[in-house]
């Protein structure tokens, strides 16, 4: 029971302080899940994140479900999922009643402008951490550069990139 409570509280805390969606959540997940709780490794988190990109739903919820299930089975997955969405449900419910009256205020606009900058920094930091773990040799560097070029110049779903990268990984390691 303690682990379920810990999963809920940990993911509720993550859900409460994450602005900007799944990408912004990555550095917080890495610190809490890998460094503090030791519920997974950087590699597992990257794998869960990649799978979360390919499956329907919010990335943060998907990753929470994976980690919760790994840590405490199916019930752990459910509890972690509920934990990560709980703060949003409460906050959105409260904001829904007042958003129209405050969204036009200048200080609110400026606050969101600052939050967007912060989210960009958090995403960049997460990318640097993932990059150092993912690019381990010339083959993975080449794969990275090909996918980066395709992502920049082609209008293709990220799911296609993840599937093709998975296939390339299988072929490269044979």
Please state the three-class secondary structure of the chain as a single string.
CHHHHHHHHHHHHHHHHCCCCHHHHHHHHHHHHHHHCCCCCHHHHHHHHHHHHHCCCCHHHHHHHHHHHHHHHHHHHHHHHHHHHHHHHHHHHHHHCCHHHHCCCHHHHHHHHHHHHHHHHHHHHHHHHHHHHHCCCHHHHHHHHHHHHHHHHCCCCHHHHHHHHHHHHHHHCC
pLDDT of residue 22: 62
pTM of structure: 0.63
Q: pLDDT tens-digit profile of 60-117? A: 788 889 999 999 999 999 999 999 999 989 988 888 878 778 878 899 889 888 988 9
Q: pLDDT tens-digit profile of 136-167? A: 899 999 999 999 999 999 998 888 888 898 89
Q: pLDDT tens-digit profile of 21-61? A: 666 777 888 899 999 999 999 889 888 888 877 777 777 78
What number is the average pLDDT over the span 9-18? 88
pLDDT of residue 17: 80
pLDDT of residue 67: 93
Q: pLDDT tens-digit profile of 74-84? A: 999 999 999 99
**For residue 68, what are its two tokens?**
């919760």
């Amino acid at each position: 029971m303690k682990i379920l409570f810990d999963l809920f509280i940990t993911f509720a805390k993550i859900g409460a302080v994450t602005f900007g969606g799944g990408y912004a959540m990555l550095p917080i997940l890495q610190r809490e899940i890998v460094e503090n709780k030791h519920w997974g490794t950087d590699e597992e988190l990257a794998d869960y994140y990649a799978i979360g990109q390919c499956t329907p739903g919010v990335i943060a919820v998907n990753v929470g479900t994976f980690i919760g299930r790994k840590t405490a089975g199916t019930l752990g997955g459910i509890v972690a999922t509920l934990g990560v969405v709980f703060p949003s449900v409460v906050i959105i419910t409260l904001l829904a009643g007042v958003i129209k009256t405050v969204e036009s205020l200048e200080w609110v606009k400026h606050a969101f402008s600052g939050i967007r900058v912060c989210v960009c920094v958090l995403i960049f930091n997460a990318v640097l951490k993932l990059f150092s773990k993912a690019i381990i040799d010339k083959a993975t560097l080449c794969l990275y550069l090909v996918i980066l070029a395709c992502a920049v110049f082609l209008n293709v779903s990220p799911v296609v990139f993840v599937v093709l990268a998975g296939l390339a990984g299988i072929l490269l390691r044979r």
